[in-house]
Structure 1
């Protein structure tokens, strides 16, 4: 399977500062090995093309968010699994499920007020 829009969005927020991984994510050889909806979001196991990026020094990355003016939100987290795989997980709170999250995050009307980085 190919990366979907929500997975690309999340990975862009999580690891945008790593050019070699960005390049690997754009590769047609990148595949989603497993995609599972969970009660609070989803997780995906992603295989990157071997040799195209270095996951050895990639720490676990987390990006917290809120959607709209309500207090609904959650976080994305990803971490390396071996040399060429990433696990990506989304955890939603406040009654926000994965399909609603995708709709809200990827809608054309989601401007700065629609999606905000959570403040501590």
Structure 2
């Protein structure tokens, strides 16, 4: 599956300033979404970069964000698994996860 605009925006929000993720700021991102699912408070995606990207399995990176459809805001969380896939989660702090922030394939 191709990377959805919601996932791309989440990755840019999390990693936009990191040189190792500079491809996120261009339109040449080459990723395969291995799995994508709704959760009770948002969504998660398992993403594999198809180019040779030097990443290390790591602790999670998370950032809060505000959106008009989320009363208390939300957060994106991402970590690199041992197999070098990225696990990306988006979740609401309190209210239901809005359709506007859901990858199209899950709507």
TM-score (normalizing by structure 2) = 0.76
Higher radius of gyration, 1 or 2: 1
Q: Which residue of 2 aligns with 1:87?
A: 87
Displacement of 1:68 in angstroms is: 2.6
When the two structures are aligned, how many residues end up with a matched partner?
Answer: 101
1:70 to 1:2, Cα distance in 2 relative to 1, 3 A: closer
- Uncovered stretches (5+) of structure 2, i.e. residues with no partner: 103-107
- Displacement of 1:44: 0.2
Q: Is the 8 A contact 1:66 1:74 kept in 2?
A: yes
Unaligned runs of 5+ in 1: 103-120
Counterpart of 2:32?
Answer: 31
Give me the whole-angstrom Cα distance separating, in 1, the residues matched to 2:56 and 2:73. 30
Offset, 1:49: 1.7
User: What's the RMSD between the two structures over aligned residues?
Assistant: 2.7
Which residue does 1:77 correspond to in 2?
A: 77
Using the TM superposition, name which of 40-49 and 91-100 deviates more.
Answer: 91-100
Q: Quote the offset at 1:87 in angstroms.
A: 0.4
Contact 1:43–1:89 at 8 Å: present in 2 too? yes
- What SS class does the counterpart of residue 63 from structure 1 fall into? strand
Aligned 8 A contact 1:42 1:98 in 2: no
Corresponding position of 2:2: 2
Q: Distance in 2 between matches of 1:65 and 1:42?
A: 15
d(CA) in 2 for partners of 1:97, 1:24: 24
**Equivalent residue of 1:71, what SS?**
strand
